[in-house]
Amino acid sequence: MSLGDIFLAGVLLGLLLLAGRVLRDALPPLRWALLPASVVAGLLGLMIGPEVAGRWAGVALLPEGAHGVWREAPGLLITVVFATLFLGKEIPGPRRIWEMAAPQATFGQTVAWGQYVIGLTLAILVLTPVFGIHPAAGALIEIGFEGGHGTAAGLGATFDELGFEEGRDLALGMATIGVVLAVVLGSVLIQIERRHSWRDGEDFTRKRTMPEGDEADDRPGILECSEERAILEPLTLQLGLIGLAIALGWLLQQGLIRLEAASWGGPDGVEVLRHVPLFPLAMIGGVALQVAIDRLGLGRYVSPRLMGRIGATALDLTIAAAVATLSLQILAANWEVLAILATAGAVWNVAAFWFLAPRIIHRAPFERGIGDFGQSMGMTVTGLLLMRMADPENRTRAIESFGYKQLLFEPFVGGGVVTAMSVPLIFAFGPVTMLAVSSAIFAAWLAFAWALFMRHAPGGR
């Protein structure tokens, strides 16, 4: 892989992103499906790559070197994405986070661990004995749905190291299915809520007034920063801070690997942390760096807008490159596995949203819950999209609560450390053990939800 290959791959990927944006705006079906332009760009890259043009037309439209760069790029770019997640954002104290986000974080964790329970159960009882797929496929619902394309692509090296090579393509397939299902099912749920005033017979317009208490707080949330705070420093400074966050994540990764080697991962021990990728640890490095910046009063040197744009650009490149290098052969050979996992995951997410969300989230349960539903099927961006559709003026302040919730959610599941460790843990301890652990954690979150929220639900719900 030469510098020329890297340069050519970058130029072609940029052209594909431009073409993807044009096509998405020009074709009504793509606009209706609300597919990101990066996904459309990736599909175009897939068509000109060896899987379509090379196999069916016999014409190599994409240089082999560029295709190789695309396949390796997501594992690097996703680290940049996660390093920027909390840089430049307000990191409030634990009490404030708890007050704003406890119900949503509890609901989100319950849904995520339920996905592991359902996926591992299916892997043990159906997927492995019937279709011969590795039981690590039981983690693909959470990786593909909650983590999305970026997380699925970022775990590619982990899948390869552990001998589950098809895992990357299956996870990317799950992520694509999840985005489409999230938009379709979310739109249906929003229409039901508008027509029938979801679950409790309240007038839809009246329910949208600004709620009292925490939701009425006018302080900026974790996802919103005022113009006064958005001090645009040079791009190079922001890149340097991102590099420092990644370096902190790398030091943490190396420390954990050495700790494992000196303890339970000795010559005959079990190695798990060695297979954990860098990107979730880079996110932790970014949080630690932002806390230090705030404590030292250096926040003026960090631009929230530039950090957001760098992260968004890296995510677009990650998704486009990952989708463009999908293996259609693997997807076709395992379509039954994808169908079973996607169906089971979608049914669980809808059921959890319908029955658990109004019992756990008491204020603006629909507007808040629909965001968690979108994230549980199609990553964070889809959750934000559905919240905008349900509450265009953000009168319920659901977006702020959703942002605070990420501080209690993203470091662990939905692309965090637990997501990254799930496949290595299944390889190390087996699916039955991990099903037992996941079931215990799921039950603990459900009991926690009952004790703090469900038994106090309005109207006995």
DSSP characters over 400-450: HHHHHHHHHHTTTSSSSHHHHHHHHHHHHH-HHHHHHHHHHHHHHHHHHHH
Has residue 251 got a pLDDT over 70?
Answer: yes
- Answer yes or no: is pLDDT of 279 > 90: no
DSSP class of 49: S
> Between vectors from CA 86 to CA 82 and to CA 87, what angle results, nearest 5°?
100
Cβ contact 277:252 at 8 Å: no
Return the ∠ at Cα 401 (arms to 395 and 407), rounded to 5°.
160
- The Cα-based distances of 97 to 253, 258, 298 in angstroms read 27, 33, 22
Q: What value does the mean pLDDT of the chain take? A: 82
- How many whole angstroms separate alpha carbon 152 and alpha carbon 321? 12
Contact 17, 38 (CB under 8 A): yes
pLDDT band for position 459 (cuts 50, 70, 90): very low
Query: pLDDT tens digit string along 81-104?
Result: 888 888 988 777 778 778 778 899
Lowest mean pLDDT among 189-193, 200-204, 291-295: 200-204
> What was the pLDDT predicted at 223?
43
Say whether 85 sits in a helix, a strand or coil.
coil
Of 458, 79, 461, the residue nearest 283 (C-alpha): 79
Per-residue pLDDT at 265: 67
DSSP state of 53: I
Predicted confidence at residue 352, as pLDDT, reads 95
Tell me the mean pLDDT in the region 414-432.
88
**What is the C-alpha separation between 204 and 295, in angstroms, rounded?**
44
Exposed / middle / buried, residue 459 (Cβ in 10 Å: 0-12, 13-18, 19+):
exposed
Tally of CA atoms within 13 A in the half-sphere of 134 that contains its CB: 19
Check whether 448 has a pLDDT greater than 90. Answer: yes
Residues 6+ apart with CB under 8 A from 154: 74, 75, 78, 79, 277, 279, 318, 415
Over range 362-371, report the average pLDDT. 88
Instruction: Give residue 82's pLDDT.
Output: 82
Query: What is the structure's pLDDT at 446?
Result: 95
Q: Name the pLDDT band for 401 (thresholds 50, 70, 90).
A: confident
- State the pLDDT confidence band at 205, using cuts at 50, 70 and 90: very low
Q: What pLDDT is attached to residue 213?
A: 39
In angstroms, the CA 385 to CA 376 distance is: 13
pLDDT greater than 80 at residue 320: yes
The predicted-structure confidence for 124-148, as pLDDT tens digits, reads as follows 999 999 999 999 999 999 999 988 8
Cα 351 from Cα 432, distance rounded (Å):
25
Sign, CA dihedral 186-189-195-201, equals: negative
- pLDDT over 90, % of the chain: 29
Structure tokens at 9: 């791959």
Mean pLDDT to the nearest integer, 7-35: 85
CA–CA distances in Å: residue 275 to residues 31, 174, 221, 418: 38, 22, 34, 12
User: HSE of 246 in the Cβ direction (CA atoms, 13 Å)?
Assistant: 17
Helix (H, G, I), strand (E, B) or coil at 126: helix
Q: What is the mean pLDDT of residues 281-307?
A: 89
DSSP state of 356: I
The answer to which of 318-327, 338-347, 351-360, 376-385 has the lowest mean pLDDT is 376-385
Burial class (CB in 10 A: 0-12, 13-18, 19+), 342: buried
Percent of the chain with pLDDT over 70: 87
